[in-house]
Amino acid sequence: MYMMKLTQHEFVRQMNRGCDTVLIPIGMLEAHGEHCALGTDMLIPREFVRRLDGELGEKIMMAPEIAYGHSFALAPFRGTIDLSQHVFTEYVVNVGEQFIHQGFRHIILFNGHGGNMPALTEVADRLADMGAYVLTLNWWLDYRSTIIQYAPGTGHAGEDETSCVLAIDESLVEMEYAHNHEDRLSRKIKSKDIGLKIFPHANSGDALQATAEKGEQIFAALLPEIRKDIEELWAFSQS
């Protein structure tokens, strides 16, 4: 169920009938190559949420999205709206704290952006200290072994992400601007505007191989795995 669509009375009814799990989709607005929509990191979690709602909507409150995050590497590119890691961390912690205050025991942080991961690790720790059971899902990383069966050219706006966006809406991708770029720069090195060297075209991976069919296969294959992780969260909190 989508929280934004509920009245106050319906929200209370759902809480009284035992809904104690909230899923918070978290993304980023940033350059995704020269071919993918700036909102790729939000569009893909949104589609997973839509599909999850069809299967688990009676048990999970789907919260409004957090569409802005932290992206040090992509910050130099046009279209990237980069929050500081500190601001982003505190904001998500405060959002999570309010859901705990409302009575939610289980919090799922469904993340679509790699640059958010360090902050969300701290967020999960702090929300857990407040008494919540927290599950953080980074869909492109946690289920990579499954994804590469359909799109081996993974990366930032690579074959996997581009395929998923194509499956959502092909008008959100301009394939004539897609690139194949293999990132070889060591992650031990950091400097100002390093993203311009890591991602010359704001992407990595082989976006040229992306198709809508591959994206649909990824969505279909990952949904059972995501559901399994959510059910494990519920089981763990009861143990």
* pLDDT per residue as tens digits for the range 149-171: 999 999 999 999 999 999 999 99
**Residue 30, CB-side half-sphere exposure with 13 Å CA sphere:** 27
Reported as a single tens digit per residue, the pLDDT across 99-143 is 999 999 999 999 999 999 999 999 999 999 999 999 999 999 999
Residue 81 located in a structural domain: yes
Q: How many domains does the chain have?
A: 1
Residue 5 located in a structural domain: no
| Cα 5 from chain centre | 21
Domain that holds residue 55: 20-183+190-238
DSSP 3-state assignment of 111? strand
Residue 110 located in a structural domain: yes
Residue 163 located in a structural domain: yes
CATH number of the domain at 161, please. 3.40.50.10310
Residue 154 located in a structural domain: yes
Length of the chain: 239
Residue 26 located in a structural domain: yes
Reported as a single tens digit per residue, the pLDDT across 77-104 is 999 999 999 999 999 999 999 999 999 9
Rounded to two decimals, the pTM is: 0.95
Question: Mind spelling out the 3-state secondary structure of 14-71?
Answer: HHHCCCCEEEEEECCCCCECECECCCHHHHHHHHHHHHHHHHHCCCEEECCCECCECC
